[in-house]
Amino acid sequence: MTAFVRDQWYVAAYGREVGRELLGRTVLGEPVLLYRTEDGRAVAMSERCVHRRFPLSQAPSRLDGDRVVCGYHGFTYGTDGGCVSVPGQQRIPRTARLKTYPVVEQDSFVWVWIGDREPGDALPPRAPWLDSPDYTVVSGMEPIDGDYGLLVDNLMDLSHETYLHGGYIGTPEIAETPITTEVDDTAGIVCVSRHMDDAECPPFYAKSTGIEGRITRWQDVEYHAPCLYLLHSRIAPVGAPGPNPDGTDPHAFHVEVVYGITPSTERTTYDFWAVARDFALDDQDVTEFLHTNNRTVVMQDVVALNVLQKSLDTEQAGYQELSINIDTGGLAARRILARLAAAR
């Protein structure tokens, strides 16, 4: 399995998932309880009661104002994790306190810090398109029964779109076109670029952009290890002008694909996926079409990775995998993850 990287921010939920109901998520093996206080602040703490380990997201556990009441014996906790009430006695044991987790709500995600030291000035990486008025977003979360490293591998090598997602977002040019890879080991960022000058337009994009002929298609991957994956996707009719020197790019369609890759247990992963577009912003048909089809594509990956995990589980000892040029980005990501995991 891929080692966990602690002392990092991870996407625990979408902001819309965190409210006045208790939500439980397991991040890097730690059970985390999430809810929103009456004044709207997202908080995170251990999801297990200190008394007998009852899961605090499990009914009849409940919120009482901003306090969490355990559904088993009524141990009650404040937003700072401190226990404020126990049954049958006035004295609260000094050690009755839930671990709390630093929380940042940013770019539609609720990020939690998992680690042994404090985050200090460290902030989660950005995905500003997800709550920008200039973009319309479709998104979701799918659990994967597999090591998070399988999802990193999957996303770092988009040549699989041609095969696993053929007929959806894949066309022959993706697998045919060589990649350029740049690795910033210090920052823990891997960039993989594939620029196709004259490519078939997948039905996916033809339908949503209205382009009828062949396209220029750029895929610029930017992976911020361990948790955030960005795919800057640019589609334009062949022959259309490129971006302006000032960064504006009025002749192209832009899609920003964002993945929050959150290890849950050693062999389960939360796959937070979001797709932001800068066109047809108010076209509800396009929104529905992209939501349905992007989810279909994500589920093709989920099914494949679940199968792959089962293959690896029964693989005989001593097997070796074989890597080629397309794997350059994925192998760089693995090296960074291994280094980060070991560095703690």
Tell me which residues touch its own copies (CB under 8 A). Answer: 26, 29-31, 48, 50-55, 58, 60, 69-74, 86-89, 93, 95-96, 153, 157, 159-160, 162-164, 166, 175-179, 265, 304, 307-308, 311-312, 314-316, 319, 321-326
Nearer to its own copies, 53 or 344 (CB): 53
CB of 72 to its own copies, least distance (A): 5
Which is nearer to its own copies, 132 or 265 (by Cβ)?
A: 265
| Nearer CB in complex with its own copies: 217/254 | 217
Quote the CA–CA distance of 127 and 136 in Å, as a whole number.
Answer: 13
CB of 123 to its own copies, least distance (A): 27
Burial of 4 (0-12, 13-18, 19+ CB in 10 A): buried
Question: What span, in angstroms and rounded, lies between the C-alpha atoms of 83 and 55?
Answer: 15
Q: What angle do CA 252, 254, 259 make, to 5 degrees?
A: 160
231: tokens are: 């795919």
What is the Cα–Cα distance from 313 to 196, expressed in whole angstroms?
Answer: 37
Residue among 292 and 311 whose Cβ is closer to its own copies: 311
Shortest Å, Cβ 53 to its own copies? 5
**How do the residues of the chain divide into helix, strand and coil, expressed in percent and rounded to 5?**
25, 35, 40
CB of 148 to its own copies, least distance (A): 15
CA–CA gap between residue 44 and residue 264 (Å, rounded): 15
Q: Which amino acid is at 333?
A: A
- Sheet strand arrangement including 62-64: 62-64, 67-69, 76-77, 83-85
Q: Which of 195, 207, 192 is nearest to 152 (CA)?
A: 192
Tell me the C-alpha distance between 4 and 7, whole Å: 10
We find the least distance from the C-beta atom of residue 176 to its own copies, in angstroms, to be 7
φ, ψ of residue 194 to 5 degrees: the values are: -140, 110
Helix (H) or strand (E) holding 20, with range, is none
Q: Which is nearer to its own copies, 42 or 150 (CB)?
A: 150
Q: How far is the CB of 333 from its own copies (least distance, A)?
A: 14
Cα separation of 182 and 204, whole Å? 28
- Residue 274 φ/ψ, nearest 5 degrees: -145, 140
Check: CB of residue 242 under 8 Å from CB of residue 249: yes
- Which residues on neighbouring strands pair with residue 221, listed in sequence order? 192, 231
Nearer to its own copies, 122 or 175 (CB): 175
Question: Min. distance of Cβ 81 from its own copies in angstroms?
Answer: 13
Cβ closest to its own copies, residue 186 vs residue 320: 320
CB of 153 to its own copies, least distance (A): 7
* Shortest Cβ 48–its own copies spacing (Å): 6
Which CB atom, from 266 or from 283, has the smaller least distance to its own copies?
A: 266
Task: Compare residues 244 and 325 and give the one whose CB is closer to its own copies.
Answer: 325
Helices (H), 180-323: 203-209, 284-313
